[in-house]
Amino acid sequence: MLKPRLVPFLAAALLLAAPVAAETGKPARIVSLNLCADELLLRLADRGRVASVTWLARDPRGSNVADLARGVPVNRGLAEEIVPLRPDLVIVGAFTTRTTTALLRRLGIPVLELGAPESLDAAYAQIREVAARIGEPERGEDMVRGMQAAFAGLPPAPRHRPTAIVLRPNGFTAGRGSLADEILARAGLDNLAARLTPDRMGQLTLEEIVTAQPDLLVINASSDGPPSLADELLHHPALAGRAGHSVALPTRLWACAGPELAEAGRRLAAARQAVAQ
């Protein structure tokens, strides 16, 4: 946690090392404090304009841009790390690094806050927002068009859609109105959890899942992560016998706005076709 006595020091450091705006008018030293922001920043901005991304960006278990993050300075979301970088734009998440974000705003550093998109349209809007803010609207539009084309190219949904349940650690699932719910629909699947829980991120018990008998179980977790109690339900013997009717989908494929959302749709559509055979 930031010590109050450091605030005057950081303010002085900011004044002494004020960023010089790029001749193009685009932000010249951009910092990201959120993994989803890391992915958009590294894909949309020239490398020389990226001052720092989070340490998570380099971890291929959760990051889609580990290769792009290689060699880029990393941070852990601390104000003491960010202010000396002289950023002229900091991109943050709506639910992370709140203390640092508040201080950056207090110091007058421009901040762009990103929420978690709950639909594909919201994801497209977020991509466009980031691209516009960093001065690369064409690159953002290219990314959106590519994603839209990928979703449009998915196999058509059958008349009778197979049912599916997304199973996340601790029994959490993807309910009605969530981004995952829309991707399931675009892949030709009927999200059974939408009828079992009223919440976008509700929880299901083992009994509810077994009783519901979904045609496809979507295991939303990373297979190479360390063992944890949160993952116990994902590997329960009652579900183990469904190996032929399940698909593993890493969280990184549909946690952030970006091209991986279309890849998640492609994998789900392929799993749906396999179930129907």
Q: What is the band of 44 on the pLDDT scale with cuts at 50, 70, 90?
A: very high
Percent of the chain's residues with pLDDT above 70: 85
| Whole-angstrom distance, CA of residue 73 vs CA of residue 62 | 18
Identify the weakest region by mean pLDDT among 139-148, 164-173, 209-218, 235-244. Answer: 235-244
Identify the weakest region by mean pLDDT among 43-57, 140-154, 209-223. Answer: 209-223
State pLDDT tens for residues 68-119: 999 999 999 999 999 999 999 999 999 888 999 999 999 999 999 999 999 9
Q: What is the band of 189 on the pLDDT scale with cuts at 50, 70, 90?
A: very high
| C-alpha to C-alpha distances, 166 to 154, 163, 194, nearest whole angstrom | 20, 10, 10
Spelled out in words, what is the top-level CATH class assigned to the domain 6-115? Answer: alpha beta
Contact present, 162 and 215 (Cβ < 8 Å): yes
Average pLDDT estimate for 202-224: 86
Contact present, 180 and 254 (Cβ < 8 Å): yes
Delimit the CATH 3.40.50.1980 region(s) of the chain: 6-115, 157-276
The helix/strand/coil state of 235 is helix
Q: Which CATH architecture has domain 157-276?
A: 3-Layer(aba) Sandwich (3.40)
pTM (global) more than 0.85: yes
Contact present, 88 and 30 (Cβ < 8 Å): yes
pLDDT at 52 over 70: yes
pLDDT at position 201 is 84
φ, ψ of residue 70 in degrees (nearest 5): -60, 125
**Higher pLDDT, residue 270 or 209:** 270
**Higher pLDDT, residue 242 or 21:** 242
| Whole-angstrom distance, CA of residue 51 vs CA of residue 103 | 19
State pLDDT tens for residues 158-185: 999 999 999 988 889 999 999 999 999 9
Average pLDDT estimate for 31-42: 98
Q: What is the band of 16 on the pLDDT scale with cuts at 50, 70, 90?
A: very low
State pLDDT tens for residues 228-243: 555 767 777 777 666 5
**Higher pLDDT, residue 228 or 30:** 30
